[in-house]
Amino acid sequence: MGKVRVAAFTVSLDGFGAGPNQDPDNPIGLGGFEMMEWMFATDAFHRMHATDRGETGIDNGFAERSFENVGAWVIGRNMFGPIRGPWPDEEWRGWWGDEPPYHVPVFVLTHHPRPVLEMAGNTRFHFITDGLEAALEHARSAAGDKDVRIGGGVSTIRQGLSDRHIDELHLAARPTLLGRGEALFAGIDLPSLGYRVVETTPGELATHVIIRKT
């Protein structure tokens, strides 16, 4: 069985994984796009979106690693879209256009049922209404021997850490300050939960930190 991991998740220098005032124009909140500049510059990101070639180097290496051996994803509802409450219809199909970058099953945490959504490129969104543990069970089954990647957002990762579901966490720390937003580690005692920093690598636009459960 593969690992449950978080990869290429960006945090600000003051510990926020998303800024305030998230909306369709600011899906990661105010300051979020600046925080993600390291990823936007990489060749991996440009190839994913079929645009001109991007930068190679350390940041790109970590971006490419983040997609290796992934057999299924788990994401929070905010990662799928900005709609709150019951689904008004099935018009919203995600942030990514007709062919999302996942290419494997994706299990979306929500309180409101919705039919399975099949997209181009073998991405299939399943909407899970009975919590993170159930979503992980479905994802592990779908992934087989490959890894399950938790894509965020902050509240989903916090729960995964607090319940020790996450085996490995790759953070891309950006030298930017958000001041407010969604704090990734507030109130979570990682050492007491058995997590340790095992790798730190400076990149071109971010510092990459690998944390593992012991």
What is the per-residue pLDDT for 1?
Answer: 80
pLDDT digits over 190-204, tens only?
A: 999 999 999 999 999
* CA 69/CA 91 separation, integer angstroms: 31
48 or 161: which leads in pLDDT: 161
- The CA-atom distances, in angstroms, between 48 and each of 38, 41, 52, 125, 208 are 15, 12, 10, 19, 21
What's the pTM?
Answer: 0.94
Given a cut of 80, is residue 50 above it in pLDDT? no
Which of 25-29, 166-170, 181-185 has the weakest average pLDDT?
25-29
Rg (CA), the chain: 16
- CA pair distance 18, 186, nearest whole angstrom: 13
* E strand residue ranges, 60-145: 70-75, 105-109, 117-118, 124-128
Ramachandran region of residue 211, left (φ > 0), alpha (ψ -120 to 50) or beta? beta
pLDDT at 116 over 80: yes
Averaged pLDDT for residues 179-183: 96
Three state DSSP letters for 60-73: HHHHHHCCCCEEEE
The pLDDT value given to residue 103: 95
Q: Please state the CATH superfamily assignment of the domain spanning residues 4-20+27-82+98-194 in this structure.
A: Dihydrofolate Reductase, subunit A (3.40.430.10)
For residue 159, pLDDT beyond 90:
yes
CA max distance for the chain: 45
